Amino acid sequence: MNRALGCATLILVLICGCDAFYQATGWPDPDGANTNANADSNSSSKPPTDTGQVGLKQFESEEEFQEYFTEQVSTDQRYGTRGGLGGGANNVTFDSDMAPQAGADAAPATPAAEGEVSDSGGGTWDDFSTTTEQEEGVQESDIIKNDGQYIYVLADSTLRIVQADPGEALQELSSTALEGYGRDLYLLEDRVVALTLQSGIYRGGAMPMVAQESLPAPVFEPPRVQVTVIDVSDRSNPTIQSTSWFEGTLSSSRMIGADLHLVLVNYPDFFEPVIAYREGETAVAEVDADDILPDYEVAEDGSDPVSGNTVDWPDFYYPIDADGYGMTTVISLNINDPTAFGSVGVVAYPGNIYASTEALYLTDSNYDFFGSVRQTSDIYKFAFNDAGPELVAVGVVPGRILNQYSMSEYQGYLRVATTVDRSGMFGEEPSTNNVYVLAQEADELAIVGRAENLAPTEQIYSARFSGPRGYLVTFEQIDPLFTLDLSDPANPQVVGELKVPGYSTFIIEMGENHLLTVGRNTVMNGSFVFEQGIQLSIFDISDLANPQLAFTEQIGNPDAWSEALYNPKALTYFAAQDLLALPVEIWEYAYGWPAWDGVVTVPDEPETAVADAGIDTDTEPAPTPEPVAQNPVSEESFNGLYVYRVTPEDGFEALGQMSTVMGEGYYYNSFTRGVFMNGNVFAVTDRGVVGAPVTAVGTTPWEVLFP
């Protein structure tokens, strides 16, 4: 961005406000705020073939598969118009005369038994913390894992195993080089499953966009995901059992028992080698299905590699309304026999991914290629069967889905929270929020219950469903917490509401009667909202109809940041020992912007909040505040871990901070995680690990620095 454009952009933001800016430009709002909602389901930007139907069909022949791909390339529907899986109005169909056939047999999913720790090699929940996960029995990946004695760290392309118990024996036991860049880890007893990524690359020849007849075609090595199963029964000498690689980029994954479920995407750019660009025109080369279909290769210790197509053309579905030529593949493989995997594909793009022990759900993306928000979200349900994933139902709900925590399956019903963004030429139709309950009826996910038009003008910042209850946090200027009774799927009810300053981006249940949230504190000046730092909160929901704010804890100045604000896996809540840890970055406040030292009393109606703060914008202009001193804990920069003891009775007790600036000079950690283990706490980064007793957090007597 050049300087003139940057200045013009800043002026537009100041004049219009952030939301208005994103609506005016159509650029995606990095904070997830409302964007241009005019490209709704009937937008003229859609291709002429748009019928307004939501659904998938299977290809009836290899020729049809090739012709569909060729047609999409020829019309250059590179990234489609819907930006996600499917789109359109509320007319749902699922056209399939053939049951999906998996590529190979896979063992059935085996959920972890109740009370087991799915990612542990021993011990219990009372001994050590684990990765934040949404559903019991569904293991989620992270960049680190631990089992009560050892910490497993995937840093760049290396798996490092650190002995962390006892704390005074903290040391790196081994390092194992892996192929590709480290993305995720899973832990199952004495085996680690590492997911690494390799980017696509052209080797030699001319790039497709500038190809010349006289130059040779480039050799393209597509991006791929590698699954490495490692035996770590001897932590000092891990051994690789198998490696499996699949063409594509990793969108998400889950693990249930020994079954690993992957969602991979092959974006249109990956297919450039089969497209020849000449004089600004697109010509499609003569290709067959094998040139289009993604490949795989599996190599087990002592056996010859097995390779082929990850998904064959009969196992691919395509939207009734064509939408580009990217491909999403859902793969289920058992780590005991990785050659026997099942798969199914969709010619579309993945959005949010949610998984229960029974099924995996894919939704659309939030934005299309031009940054516009769709006003509907399609949902595809893939059941976990003996032969692999099977596409069994399709549904659609109004609005967009924030993230995986906005979905939850309970007693056969899927609950979904959505936001319908502002619409109209000038955004005159306010945003609204909704909760829908869906049930599978034949091959359709049908809406059987709904609670709509919640918190007009606001949008969902966090959601959580748990059993027959649900919780929503919306935000525009004041943060309402909504409590929901979902015990009757046909009649979901909002039963309680509480307005407090700030907003929450992640919600955790603390037992049955309290919620723990992380988010940001805010204050108002006139019609402007200013963020003041990280905010931890405890809500009392013992009376679901009358939620109360019990405790808050403020961290840092307006520039304070935490990965836990957008990545729940960065927040470590160890309920068994009432302990909490989160990474925090605080930068010395150097810009001279004032902090607001007034306290906003939250009224019954949010529009009176400004008046209650001492500002009457109807009779006088908003005053210009004088700069005030910052929060004392924010006066110096900090990068590391904040550790608390947290209880519903006493709130937050700060136990101290652990700096993760290790070694000589400053090093920016690409991630920081907190681990509680047998009375000790460890801050784990790609740089190394520091640890201390929970009773003496600030001392950090133990440290291991990775080479």
Secondary structure, 3-state, 615-644: CCCCCCCCCCCCCCCCCHHHCCCEEEEEEE
Contact (Cβ atoms closer than 8 angstroms) between residue 19 and residue 7 = no
What amino acid is encoded at 55 in this protein? G
Cβ contacts of 78 within 8 Å, gap of 6 or more: 268, 324, 325, 369
CB 513 within 8 A of CB 542: yes
Instruction: Give dist(CA 360, CA 319) in Å, integer.
Output: 19
429 belongs to a structural domain? no
* DSSP letter assigned to residue 139: B
In this structure, is residue 536 part of a structural domain?
Answer: yes
Answer whether 516's CB lies under 8 Å from 510's CB.
Answer: yes
Convert the pLDDT of each residue in 643-672 to its tens digit: 999 999 999 999 999 999 887 655 678 899
Question: What's the pTM value of the predicted model, to 2 decimals?
Answer: 0.80
Tokens of 513: 């009667």
Task: List, for residues 415-467, the tens digit of each pLDDT value.
Answer: 999 999 877 656 668 889 999 999 999 999 999 999 999 999 999 999 999 99
Does residue 668 lie within any of the structural domains?
yes
Structure-token pair, residue 147:
């089992």
Pick from 535, 537, 492, 484: which is nearest to 510 by CA? Answer: 537
Q: Band of the pLDDT at 336, cuts 50, 70, 90?
A: very high
Q: Rounded mean pLDDT of 324-332?
A: 89
How much of the chain, in percent, has pLDDT values that exceed 90? Answer: 54
pLDDT digits (tens, 9 = 90+) for 226-274: 999 999 999 999 999 999 999 999 999 999 999 999 999 987 666 655 5
Quick check: is 526 in a domain?
yes
Name the residue range of residue 652's domain.
501-707
In what side-by-side order are the strands of the sheet with 503-510? 503-510, 514-525, 528-540, 548-555
> Could you give the number of structural domains in the chain?
2
Query: How far lies 93's CA from each of 96, 354, 654, in Å?
Result: 10, 22, 54
Domain assignment of residue 698, yes or no: yes
Find out whether 524 and 613 touch, Cβ atoms under 8 Å: yes
Identify residue 646 by its one-letter amino acid code: V
**Using alpha carbons only, what angle is made at residue 511 by residues 506 and 517, rounded to the nearest 5 degrees?**
20
Type of residue at 656: G
In a domain, 9, yes or no: yes
Interval 561-580 mean pLDDT: 96
Q: What pLDDT is attached to residue 214? A: 56
Q: Are 401 and 434 in contact (CB under 8 A)?
A: no
- The predicted pLDDT at position 13 comes to 33
Dihedral Cα 356, 362, 363, 367, nearest 10 deg: 120
* Prior bond of 294 cis (ω within 30°): no
Q: Within a domain: residue 546?
A: yes
Q: Which two tokens stand for residue 648?
A: 């519903």
Listed in sequence order, the residues at least 6 apart from 478 whose beta carbon sits closer than 8 Å to its beta carbon are 499, 500, 501, 602, 606, 609
The answer to whether residue 414 sits within a structural domain is: no
Q: What is the pLDDT of residue 556?
A: 86
Q: How confident is the model at residue 163 (pLDDT cuts 50, 70, 90)?
A: very high
CB 321 within 8 A of CB 85: no
C-alpha torsion 584→590→595→597, nearest 10: 90
Host H or E run for residue 196: strand 191-198
